[in-house]
Homo-oligomer: A and B are copies of this chain.
């Protein structure tokens, strides 16, 4: 860490900052140049909040030389993590497709979609049983009954299952029925939940918060890895910006950024980001072209009667057509699908 002092600062303030840094167990090197003092602080910054230093009296700026995360960083683990889920190896050369309805509504609905997406090339079935809804008055999901439906339909068609966990108390139930536990955008910084998922022995898919920076997102993944669970996938699902033409702004440039900073695989969910059916295929193609390791796509047999997010779900034939197109894009960027 490099601490830049305000020009002309009192010697006493420099002393105070230095001794504070030493109290934190750091070694401090002082440099004076052209009336400007900088302090280099070396040591284990793991438990240090750099913001606490930035605002000490007399400090102008602070550069953290080491990143705040460790286990998720590519410096710590140069080889990409490959998460194996059923037939899929996410983070390897093949792009994985996770598809299914937004919410589980009935066995018939899920089975129809499961059959169709399995046939088209998906390897993981998605579907919400516990639904985070903005309004307390809208459909909140079928709960454990929905998970059982997912499990049966997935097994019938040779698919794995991913579904969302919303609270620490539901973790054992999810662990029992699904193959991947999804953390939704609104819970990305639910640290008690993340800590609990560190103890789970199944992969976790961690969606990015609406307004989370990439660094905060990686820090949340660090919670899970620090708890002992190394199988984490990150999932971009759109960030909140001033633009309101679509539901959110899909930040595809996070894909190459994360691939540089971290060894964890990156999945993209174009359905929730755009929120409207006809924009899903171009953004799914763009995600694969940008280097995504997987896609999470909503498909519904009858989107117009869906209990949740029907407007963004693809019809089955649209999904089949999209997969063909995605194969071409994957090939153009030296991937398979």
Residues of B within 8 A of A57 (CB): 304
Task: Report Cα–Cα, A31/B63, bound state, in Å.
Answer: 15
Please judge, given known A-B contacts A138-B47, A243-B239, whether A192 and B167 are in contact too, CB under 8 Å: yes
| CB contact between A283 and one of B33, B253, B304 (< 8 Å): that residue | B253
- Please determine whether A243 and B214 come into contact, CB atoms closer than 8 angstroms: yes
Task: Tell yes or no: A51 within 8 A of B by CB.
Answer: yes
For residue A187, give the distance in angstroms from its CB to the closest CB of chain B.
Answer: 6
**How far, in Å, is A31 (CB) from chain B's closest CB?**
6
Interface residues of A in 132-188 (CB under 8 A from B): 132-139, 166-170, 186-187
Q: Size of chain A's interface in residues, with CB distance under 8 A?
A: 116
Q: In the complex, what's the smallest C-beta–C-beta distance from A74 to chain B, in angstroms?
A: 11
| A329 interface residue (CB < 8 Å to B) | yes
Tell me, rounded to whole Å, the shortest Cβ–Cβ distance linking A325 to chain B. 7
Question: CB-CB contacts of A298-337 with B at 8 A, as 1s and 0s?
Answer: 0000001110111110000000000001001101110000
Stretch at the interface among A117-125, A199-207, A274-282: A274-282
For the complex, give the distance between the alpha carbons of A189 and B329 in Å: 36
Interfacial chain B residues near A190, Cβ < 8 Å: 166-167, 186-187, 190
Contacts of A138 in B (CB 8 A): 47-49
Known contacts A311-B55, A331-B328, A332-B331; is A40 also within 8 Å of B38 by CB?
Answer: yes
CB distance from A287 to the nearest CB of B (A): 7
Closest to A334 in B: B325
Q: Name the one of B62, B256, B278, B333 contacting A278, with C-beta atoms under 8 angstroms.
A: B256
What residue in chain B is nearest A193 (Cβ atoms)? B167
Query: Is A195 on the interface with B (CB-CB < 8 A)?
Result: yes
Residues of B within 8 A of A85 (CB): none
Q: Which residues of A pack against B, CB within 8 Å?
A: 2, 4, 7, 16, 20, 27, 29, 31, 33-34, 36, 38, 40, 42, 46-49, 51-52, 54-57, 60-66, 68-69, 75, 132-139, 166-170, 186-187, 189-193, 195, 209-211, 213-216, 219, 222-223, 226-227, 239-247, 249-257, 260, 273-279, 282-283, 285-291, 304-306, 308-312, 325, 328-329, 331-333
- Give the 8 A-B residue pairs with the shortest CB-CB distance, closest first: A55-B311, A328-B332, A211-B211, A289-B289, A186-B189, A167-B192, A286-B290, A285-B289
